[in-house]
């Protein structure tokens, strides 16, 4: 029940006619675009090894971050399931172009639970080569709180149920560990995720087509998606028309010159 209500408020405030329960009034996302993550934070990965958050940022590849907890009865499963479906539609696999990082917000989650979750989602993903670049972390409350605050992830522990009320979102981070994009909800279009990663990497990944699309589409922070920019599309259309017209004129000129090979001599 809590997970369902938290999901309903991901995109913004609740309607005045349908007020939130008091326990959920402080749950949500505060966007902090371009904010730097505290890369000194220490966690444990799914093998139990102590790691620094900064270990996952190499200055080359962007990172797709999810905050969940491993015994969540509903919403976290929806978030991770949705991410796996989206990643499955991408031709990229974590490793060469980007990395994936999943961090538990529950300080009682253990590396063993993280290992089980990783095995389950890698099996669902079906690309075993992603194992080295999709990490599942656990940590102490102080570290978790600092990370959640840094990305604007507002959640609350509910003592009566032993569960967490939390929003659903993915965070796209630059290779240097700065917040680039927020992707709200549990389902995301593969094109949106791809463009978000390309933009976060400042063109260091992706193809010329991706760069072209980024010119014509702009990220809408309110919806967490990309929308077409009419002015830029018109500019591209006008430029394309000019190029086509020039090509046609050059072709006609060459054809006409070939039909009258003696014209140049007569003029001389």
User: Tens of pLDDT along 166-189?
Assistant: 999 999 999 999 999 999 999 999
Tens digits of residue pLDDT in 234-268: 443 334 443 444 454 455 555 666 666 555 555 44
Please list the residues that pair with 66 across neighbouring strands: 102, 170
Mean pLDDT along residues 55-65: 96
Does the pLDDT at position 133 exceed 80? yes
Q: Among the listed ranges 14-18, 151-155, 218-222, which one has the minimum average pLDDT value?
A: 14-18
| Residue whose token pair is 């966007």 | 31
pLDDT at 20: 61
Does the pLDDT at position 14 exceed 60? no
Across all residues in the chain, what is the average pLDDT?
A: 80
Tens digits of residue pLDDT in 200-237: 988 554 444 444 444 455 666 666 565 665 444 344 33
pLDDT at 236: 36
CA distance 149 to 179: 12
pLDDT at 251: 57
Does the pLDDT at position 88 exceed 90? yes
Buried b (16+ CB within 10 A) or exposed e, 80-89: bebbbebbee
Distance (Å) of CA 104 to CA 76, 113, 152, 221: 10, 10, 15, 25
Q: Among the listed ranges 21-35, 64-78, 169-183, 199-213, which one has the minimum average pLDDT value?
A: 199-213
CA distance 155 to 26: 7
Structural element, H or E, at residue 219: strand 217-220
Mean pLDDT along residues 6-34: 65
Mean pLDDT along residues 143-153: 98
pLDDT at 209: 45
Confidence (pTM): 0.74
CA distance 12 to 224: 11
> Which has more confidence, 4 or 191?
191
pLDDT at 96: 86
């Amino acid at each position: 029940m809590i997970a369902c209500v938290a999901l309903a408020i991901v995109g913004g405030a609740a309607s005045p006619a349908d007020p939130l329960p008091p326990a959920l009034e402080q749950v949500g996302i505060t966007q902090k675009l371009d904010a730097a993550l505290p890369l000194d934070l220490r966690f444990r990965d799914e093998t139990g090894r102590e790691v620094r958050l900064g270990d996952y940022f190499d200055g080359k590849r962007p990172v797709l971050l999810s905050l969940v907890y491993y015994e969540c009865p509903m919403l976290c499963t929806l978030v991770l399931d949705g991410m796996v479906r989206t990643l499955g539609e991408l031709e990229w696999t974590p490793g060469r172009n980007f990395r994936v990082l999943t961090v538990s917000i529950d300080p009682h989650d253990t590396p063993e639970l993280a290992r089980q979750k990783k095995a389950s989602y890698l099996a669902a993903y079906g690309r075993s080569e992603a194992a080295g670049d999709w990490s599942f972390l656990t940590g102490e409350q102080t570290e978790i709180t600092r990370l959640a605050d840094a990305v604007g992830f507002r959640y609350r522990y509910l003592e009566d149920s032993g569960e967490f009320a939390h929003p659903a979102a993915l965070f796209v981070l630059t290779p240097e560990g700065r917040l680039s994009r927020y992707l709200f909800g549990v389902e995301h279009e593969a094109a949106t995720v791809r463009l978000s990663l390309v933009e976060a990497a400042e063109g260091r990944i992706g193809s010329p087509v991706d760069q072209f699309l980024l010119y014509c589409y702009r990220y809408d922070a309110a919806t967490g998606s990309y929308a077409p920019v009419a002015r830029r599309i018109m500019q591209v259309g006008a430029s394309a028309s000019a190029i086509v017209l020039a090509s046609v004129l050059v072709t006609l000129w060459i054809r006409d010159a070939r039909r009258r090979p003696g014209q140049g001599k007569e003029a001389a």
